[in-house]
Amino acid sequence: MNDLVQLTKENGIAVITINNPPVNALSPGVPQGISEALDQIAQDASSKAVVLIGGGRTFIAGADIKEFGKMTSGKPRGEGLLPFLLKIEDSKKPVIVAIHGTAFGGGLEVAMACHYRVAVSSAQVGQPEVKLGIIPGAAGTQRLPRLAGVAKAVEMCTTGNPVKAADALQFGIVDRIIEGDLLPGAIAFAREAATKPAPKTRERNDKLGNATENAPIFSAARETVAKKQRGLLAPVAAIKAIEAATILPFTEGCQVEQKLFTECLFSDQSKALIHVFFSEREVGKIPDVPKETPLLPVKSAAVVGAGTMGGGIAMVLANAGIPVLLKDADQLALDRGLATIQSNYANSAKRGRFTPQEAEERFKRITPTLSYDDFSKADLVIEAVFEGMALKKEVFKELDRVCKPGSILASNTSTLDIDEIASATSRPTYIIGTHFFSPANVMRLLEIVRGKATSREVIATCMQLSKTLGKIGVLVGNCRGFVGNRMFGPYRREAQFLVEEGASVVAIDKALSDFGMALGPLATGDLAGLDVGWRIRKEYRHLEKPGIRQPFVEDNLCELGRFGQKTGAGWYQYDEQRRAMPDPVVDDLIRKWVTVAGIPQREISAAEIVDRCLYALVNEGARILEEGYALRASDIDIIYLNGYGFPAYRGGPMWYADTVGLKQVYARISEFHRQHGEIWQPAPLLARLAEQGKTFAQLGKEEGAAV
Ligand code: 3HC
Ligand code: NAI
């Protein structure tokens, strides 16, 4: 046996313990260790049954995801896990698996090959492979329907969502919930089981149903997947594999699963989703803010401004159990803000997200106020007043005066300079940007903006806070628009130029929606409100370089009062339910305006629309990386996946560019540069990587960066 697996004996029961921290993944050596332990137990007449358990915080959380990259880059695959699982299932002595933490993916597949499963009530089981763009690859699609029934197996394998122990018991995935300590409970169970014949999951067919019962399950699942997981290959493959379980003998079903698993594993989608898995874990690692950095307490908070963002941010804090003062300057605005919060909570309770009592408790954590009186108690203040430097500075000057030393003062600004805001205070080390996305209580992204004086403790505290709030915090530097919006500018600019050059509004949004974006760029403008950008552009018009082309259609629409969804019309017209409909009036107006402007019209393909918009994102992303405003290309990807509806199966804009090949991306951008002038100047970093045959992903690992 090896270091990863230990064999002991208690009361005539052999105990195999897996110790492969942090999550007991099935890394090379783990299956071998278990297999050798089973060989020894088979020779030991005094062991009547076997308990298989995980050491540390969890049972096996799945196959080792790092191994997948090695497999797809040419390492021979070996025999896989199937023979190992057959060996467990064919053990003459019953094997009882004892589950705590998570039995995910390969972990659940191991558990299902055992003869019995017991679990503590906090345990979870699941087949999350689909979230990595693959399907269960060790007979999960064949054993799960045999244990839990076809409908449950389809649900688990297509959504990837975990199932709590109580549900797992109800569906027959586990046989008993152990109250109290797991190991003694599992040993007691094993002593009972030792006297009975050991059931083999693969030989059970009673829950597999028949064709008439199963057909509607599969067709409903295909419909749901097409709607909710648009463009994803793995959920479709998972359904196919489970279908095979219902019509083929076990061994042949496993062959179908293997074929589909391999196809998925080698797909670009899986590579992208695995990139996302590791990027989400990398994003919290900041080179000069080590894990040991002391955290400041955040036990109470205050929000200034009870508008769209302030109200949402107050809800996010209250949802995390943090009492929060919500201040506005205006009684009407405060009342309106509070009423919106109350109705949001009522809707969530109605939809069953939490009970009416929980909704009430959350609401009560928010205390409305018109004064700064109690601000001295707050550990953290987040400012969300109107966007304007003079006003922000005034508010921060006041906050500096009323707040206790050591409290963090954060701004939710989406465009303004954090250092200039900090200059209005006597405590620049405690000033930081916390840029939430709208609606703040829904969107997962939180850009954390580091000013030049922001202390490490304040950064570490805000990164930790993002987790407490259920957000994904990404540290970014202090530049105009930070990372997300700075890149979004060129992306939406290109969409508008394409309209001016002859593409229809619908064609542009369709091309990007077909690419996988949650919403096309023009419809996104309508959703956010076209007037926001219009006002900003008016304020900053003096900074525009003369002779550089600027889009004009959106400004013209705003002049006509077409601000988007909120006014019932923008690029599209909207009905009462805010459903978008193409608007011939807009098409006519655009043709009139472009004729006056003398812009030649031409046919524009969907491929050009996608390249123009996406490469505008990529080129700006490359500049941001080079200038050090993002730590890693993967951080930019995380921003786009969580704040801008970029499809996860494409990995984010920078990963997508790597997938296309930077040489090709650079060549296309150079072509746009020749056609459209200075705004398409290729980013020097992109030019260098293209020339060296490298990727953005390699850059993070080799060079490191500074925010
Ligand atoms: N393989 C390799 N590394 C893994 C891993 C896995 N399956 N699961 C987690 N890790 C690593 C993480 O990358 C992280 O590493 P780091 O500390 O160096 O950043 C560390 O373990 C801890 O992970 P988390 O930060 O995610 O810890 P949490 O406690 O928040 O969550 C968890 C634990 C719920 C187990 C979560 O890590 C998780 O969901 N893991 C993935 C589970 C999964 O997808 N399993 C299926 C794998 S595919 C498979 O099994 C195929 C099979 O069908 C053949
Ligand atoms: P909003 O107009 O909905 O709300 C602003 C609120 O601040 C109003 O209720 C107003 O009465 C109040 N206010 C103004 N001056 C005040 C003062 N001196 N003291 C207390 N309250 C005051 O604005 P919104 O959209 O919530 O934006 C707030 C901030 O969040 C801005 O900086 C904006 O750039 C940023 N932001 C906005 C996003 C959005 O999608 N709306 C997204 C991300 C950031």
Q: Which atom of ligand 2 is nearest to the CA of 413?
A: 32
Q: Which of 109, 155, 447, 494 is catalytic?
A: 109
Q: Does the pLDDT value for residue 703 go beyond 70? A: no
Q: What's residue 705's pLDDT?
A: 53
Over residues 655-681, the mean pLDDT reads 97
| Residues 110 and 154 occupy one common structural domain | yes
**Which domain CATH number covers 493?**
1.10.1040.50
Q: What's residue 700's pLDDT?
A: 64
Q: Look at residue 574 and tell me if it is in a domain.
A: no
Ligand 1 center–CA 265 separation, angstroms: 17
Q: Does the pLDDT value for residue 129 go beyond 60? A: yes
How far apart are the C-alpha atoms of 659 and 682, rounded to whole Å? 18
Nearest CA to ligand 2 atom 3: 307
Ligand 1 center–CA 61 separation, angstroms: 6
Q: Does the pLDDT value for residue 342 go beyond 60? A: yes
Q: What 3-state class would DSSP assign to 474?
A: strand
End-to-end CA, the chain: 46
Contacts 24+ apart (CB under 8 A), 656-661: 656/272, 656/614, 656/618, 657/614, 657/615, 657/618, 657/621, 657/696, 658/633, 658/695, 658/696, 658/697, 659/268, 659/271, 659/272
510: alpha, beta or left? (left if phi > 0; alpha if psi -120 to 50): alpha
- State pLDDT tens for residues 571-625: 999 999 889 999 999 999 999 999 999 999 999 999 999 999 999 999 999 999 9
Q: Look at residue 572 and tell me if it is in a domain.
A: no
Give Dmax (Cα) for the chain.
93
Residue carrying structure tokens 């919290």: 284
- State pLDDT tens for residues 491-532: 999 999 999 999 999 999 999 999 999 999 999 999 999 998
- State pLDDT tens for residues 30-65: 999 999 999 999 999 999 999 999 999 999 999 999
CB of 327 sitting under 6 A from ligand 2: yes
| Residues 23 and 75 occupy one common structural domain | yes
Instruction: Give the residue with greater pLDDT, 628 vs 707.
Output: 628
Over residues 238-262, the mean pLDDT reads 98
Ligand 2 center–CA 306 separation, angstroms: 7
Q: Which atom of ligand 1 is nearest to the CA of 278?
A: 13
Provide, rounded to the nearest whole percent, the portion of the chain with pLDDT above 90.
92
| Residues 389 and 242 occupy one common structural domain | no
CB of 398 sitting under 6 A from ligand 2: no
| Residues 363 and 492 occupy one common structural domain | no
Among 141, 119, 115, 118, CA closest to 130: 141
Q: Does the pLDDT value for residue 539 go beyond 80? A: no
Q: Look at residue 568 and tell me if it is in a domain.
A: no
Using the 8-state DSSP alphabet, how is residue 569 labeled?
B
How far apart are the C-alpha atoms of 13 and 49, rounded to whole Å? 5
332: alpha, beta or left? (left if phi > 0; alpha if psi -120 to 50): alpha
Strands (DSSP E) found in 416-504: 431-436, 445-450, 472-477
Using the 8-state DSSP alphabet, how is residue 139 labeled?
S
SS3 per-residue string spanning 91-118: CCCCEEEEECCEEECHHHHHHHHCCEEE
Secondary element (H or E) of residue 303:
strand 301-304
| Residues 469 and 548 occupy one common structural domain | no
| Residues 648 and 699 occupy one common structural domain | yes
Best mutation site among 414, 530, 565, 642 for ligand 2, i.e. most ligand atoms within 8 A of its Cβ? 414
Please name the amino acid found at residue 162. P
| Pairing label, strands 380-383, 301-304 | parallel
From 476, 492, 509, give the residue that closes a domain.
476
Pick the range with the lowest mean pLDDT from 67-76, 258-267, 296-305: 67-76
Whether the upstream peptide bond of residue 439 has omega within 30° of 0, thus cis, is: yes
| Residues 432 and 454 occupy one common structural domain | yes
Task: Looking at 502-604, list the stretches that DSSP marks H as alpha helix, in order from N- to C-terminal side.
Answer: 505-515, 521-528, 530-540, 553-559, 584-597
CB of 325 sitting under 6 A from ligand 2: no
User: Cα–Cα distances in Å, from 110 out to 207, 652, 693?
Assistant: 20, 33, 42
How far apart are the C-alpha atoms of 35 and 48, rounded to whole Å? 17
| Residues 518 and 417 occupy one common structural domain | no
Categorize the per-residue pLDDT at 80 as very low, low, confident or very high, splitting at 50, 70 and 90: confident
Inter-residue contact 80 to 258 (CB < 8 Å): yes
| Residues 454 and 490 occupy one common structural domain | no
Q: Does the pLDDT value for residue 458 go beyond 80? A: yes
Residue carrying structure tokens 């122990």: 165
From 433, 448, 476, give the residue that closes a domain.
476
Among 59, 4, 63, CA closest to 33: 4
Q: Look at residue 469 and tell me if it is in a domain.
A: yes
The number of residues in the chain equals 707
**Which domain CATH number covers 132?**
3.90.226.10
If you average pLDDT over every residue of the chain, what do you get? 96
Bridge partners, residue 417, by sequence: none
CB of 411 sitting under 6 A from ligand 2: no
Ligand 2 center–CA 111 separation, angstroms: 52
Count structural domains, the chain.
3
Domain boundaries, position 361? 301-476
Pair of tokens at residue 86: 């057959």
Q: Look at residue 669 and tell me if it is in a domain.
A: yes
Ligand 1 center–CA 201 separation, angstroms: 26
From 456, 476, 496, give the residue that closes a domain.
476
| Residues 452 and 518 occupy one common structural domain | no
**Number of Cβ atoms within 10 Å of the Cβ of 99:** 30
Q: Look at residue 562 and tell me if it is in a domain.
A: no
Phi and psi at residue 447, to the nearest 5°: -85, 125
Q: Which atom of ligand 1 is nearest to the CA of 64?
A: 1
| Residues 426 and 534 occupy one common structural domain | no
Q: Look at residue 164 and tell me if it is in a domain.
A: yes
56: alpha, beta or left? (left if phi > 0; alpha if psi -120 to 50): left
Q: Does the pLDDT value for residue 439 go beyond 60? A: yes
Ligand 1 center–CA 22 separation, angstroms: 8
User: Cα–Cα distances in Å, from 83 out to 86, 138, 451, 468, 580?
Assistant: 5, 9, 56, 42, 54
Q: Look at residue 288 and tell me if it is in a domain.
A: no
**Which domain CATH number covers 354?**
3.40.50.720
Categorize the per-residue pLDDT at 704 as very low, low, confident or very high, splitting at 50, 70 and 90: very low
Q: Which atom of ligand 2 is nearest to the CA of 310?
A: 26
| Residues 349 and 428 occupy one common structural domain | yes
Q: Which of 129, 155, 243, 494 is catalytic?
A: 129
Q: Is 383 marked active-site?
A: no
Q: Is 109 marked active-site?
A: yes
Q: What's residue 553's pLDDT?
A: 96
Please give all residues whose beta carbon lies within 6 A of any atom in ligand 1, as ranges: 22-23, 25, 61-66, 81, 102, 104-106, 109, 128-129, 132, 136-138, 140, 281
